[in-house]
Amino acid sequence: MPVVALGDFAKSFGTHAGDISKECKELIAGKDFNYEIITGVNRDNVILEILKKIQADNQIIGARSRQEVWNDGWTENLKNFIKSKYDLNALVPKFIRQNQLVRFNQNYIKPSNPNFELDYFSVFRSWLFNKYFKQVNNVYEFGCGTGFNLVALAKIFPDKSLYGLDFVRASCELVNKISEAYQLKLKGCIFDMIDPDKNFKISAHSAIFTIGSIEQLAGKFENFLLYLLKQSPELCVHVEPTVELYDKNNLIDYLAIKFQQKRGYTQNFLPRLKELEKKGKIEILKIKRLFFGSLYMEGYNLMIWRPIK
């Protein structure tokens, strides 16, 4: 049975094995990353399921009704967090599901570990935070949801000031409840990425990041980009689904493109960054497709840039 080993993670992240931290190596060693590639009739059945899903799906990203959905979702996480007596496992977002087929290296695979996607993402997140956030004093997550990424960051850098921003009030309440329960240097704030509050200042010596939140803007990211350019953080890190990184001549990639387009997830963010770089406004430091994702799409693509001051 194939297994995702240290070298595979390094290749996925666009680095080398020596760049993987001790913490990441311990995570990899402590989890089950065995899998089998779906082939033949089973693969055909998966493709058929995805085609049916694309045809029947009626979720529209960016619709006004989605704000209520997000508020209800984060309220549920908040209630579960309190009910569980502040169990951090209650913060795992519902869209990261157990016992699911996933995509890896342009194949559909069946993991032996029910938490394969979450564990893979946890390794990536640990590498990402250790690699890029050491040198800053403050880190802001825009579209922070349950705050579970910020909790992971606080474990690595307990002395840094962390901020969780979201347009849903329940998210901010949850982040502040986490901060109170665990005595973290963490604050939740209301912030609308489509209509940014220009009076909200990013402190000096700061980095910002998004994980699966620009995707929810339905392409309305320009005001947020202009806000970041004006605030001029030292580093901007995005982990987002990115249709421009797929291979249109690959069937599995093509299905992901169609799914993302049907949903209305943000497109053209990466081309816009490249345009800003050509104009001398930003410097792009890294673009990396991880070749890993959930059944319907790859949500973990890495884009890192900084404003040119």
Residue 204 has pLDDT above 70, yes or no: yes
Domain boundaries, the chain: 6-307
Q: How confident is the model at residue 63 (pLDDT cuts 50, 70, 90)?
A: low
Burial environment of residue 28 by CB neighbours within 10 A (0 to 12, 13 to 18, 19 or more): buried
User: Which CATH number describes the domain made up of 6-307?
Assistant: 3.40.50.150
Q: How confident is the model at residue 101 (pLDDT cuts 50, 70, 90)?
A: very high
∠ at Cα 56 (51, 57), nearest 5°? 100
Of the candidates 278, 274, 269, 141, the residue with the CA atom closest to the CA atom of residue 217: 269
**How far apart are the C-alpha atoms of 11 and 185, rounded to whole Å?**
33
The values of phi and psi at residue 58, to 5°, are -125, 15
Strands 301-307 and 235-240, by their bridges, are antiparallel
Q: Tokens standing for 170?
A: 């329940």
pLDDT of residue 197: 96
Residue 173 has pLDDT above 70, yes or no: yes
Residue 1 has pLDDT above 90, yes or no: no
Residue 45 has pLDDT above 80, yes or no: yes
Is pTM beyond 0.75? Reply is yes
